Amino acid sequence: MSTELSGSTALVTGGTSGIGRATAIALAGLGAHVVLSGRDAGRGAEVVSAIREAGGKADFVAADLTDAASAKALADRAREVGGHVDVLVNNAGIFPTGPTASLTEADFDRVYTTNVKVPFFLVAELAPEMAARGHGAIVNVSTMVATRGMTGMALYGSSKASVELLTKAWAAEFGPSGVRVNAVSPGPTRTEGTAVFGDGLDELASAGPAGRVAAPSEIAAAIAFLVADKASFIQGAILPVDGGRLAV
Ligand code: NAP
């Protein structure tokens, strides 16, 4: 196990599945104490066991992230468990797709609450403390459809476009105090959450230079790079991790 992040506590939201699970494992492998959150306690326990069996340190915190109060409660629990939070990965997200006219006001509110409001209030809770300690790293998980205008992706893509602007605004706000804020922009990635898309995911991926869907570990590797000191001069960046899809 590497020691790059030893002494650090990393909060990974949505760490029970897909990209978040792989990120929790990757950060624990760098020596971080990982606090992973999600709603599904069974899946949370499984990720914690996998990390501990590999010699890492992890705890699960159950959190249904539905508003600013639930974001604050998660930050409080993460501090209790980890002592302090040095790294925040805003990964938990939902991605309903479909024609604009088919989506309801409830869909709109759910997407913007999970994808924008909760990350906003988690950063509001945790970044000032990182700034007071003079160091910290935040990575927001966006998507290639925050940049590409694609049919059926208006609601989801617009929520993540907001996250990308927040990434830059937070880099400006907290960067001078030693807190680096960046984002990854994944392409289609095989996860529990994208299983419903079936072959559609492969079709989406086939248009890019890599011509294939990503494994969650490939996105996690980029997140792990961005939070570690080797990325010390990278701030406010949106890193495409999409097999080149945004480039062509
Ligand atoms: P996933 O397999 O569906 O996992 C989503 C995670 O978010 C789960 O751990 C889930 O936890 C958590 N979550 C969702 N709603 C929540 C809520 N209300 N409260 C608390 N936790 C909640 O998703 P994924 O494919 O790994 O995607 C992860 C992130 O990457 C998302 O932000 C997504 O937009 C982004 N992304 C994914 C892809 C892709 O192709 N997979 C591409 C680009 C970007 P529980 O189920 O335990 O509650």
Q: Any idea where the domains of the chain sit in the sequence?
A: 9-241
pLDDT at 40 exceeding the cut of 90: yes
CA 199 to centroid of chain Cα atoms? 24
**What backbone phi and psi angles, to 5 degrees, belong to 80?**
-60, -45
Tokens representing 83? 């002592």
Tell me the pLDDT tens digit for each residue of 90-120.
999 999 999 999 999 999 999 999 999 999 9
**176: CA distance to ligand 1 center in Å?**
30
Tell me the pLDDT tens digit for each residue of 130-179.
999 999 999 999 999 999 999 999 999 999 999 999 999 999 999 999 99
CATH code for the structural domain at 9-241:
3.40.50.720
pLDDT at 1 exceeding the cut of 80: no
List the catalytic residues: 156
Tell me the pLDDT tens digit for each residue of 174-233.
999 999 999 999 999 999 999 999 999 999 999 999 999 999 999 999 999 999 999 999
pTM listed for this prediction: 0.98
Measure the N-to-C terminal CA separation of the chain; round to a whole number of Å: 37
**143: CA distance to ligand 1 center in Å?**
12
Question: Residue 2 has what pLDDT?
Answer: 85
Residue nearest atom 27 of ligand 1, based on CA coordinates: 19
Tell me the pLDDT tens digit for each residue of 234-248.
999 999 999 999 999
Question: Do the Cβ atoms of 155 and 108 come closer than 8 Å?
Answer: yes
Residue at token pair 């907290």: 174
185 lines ligand 1 (CB under 6 A): no
Residue at token pair 């000032």: 128
63 lines ligand 1 (CB under 6 A): yes
Question: Residue 233 has what pLDDT?
Answer: 98
Question: Do the Cβ atoms of 56 and 3 come closer than 8 Å?
Answer: no
The rounded distance, in Å, linking the Cα atoms of 89 and 221 is 13
Bridge partners of 184? 141, 239
Enter the DSSP assignment of 14. T
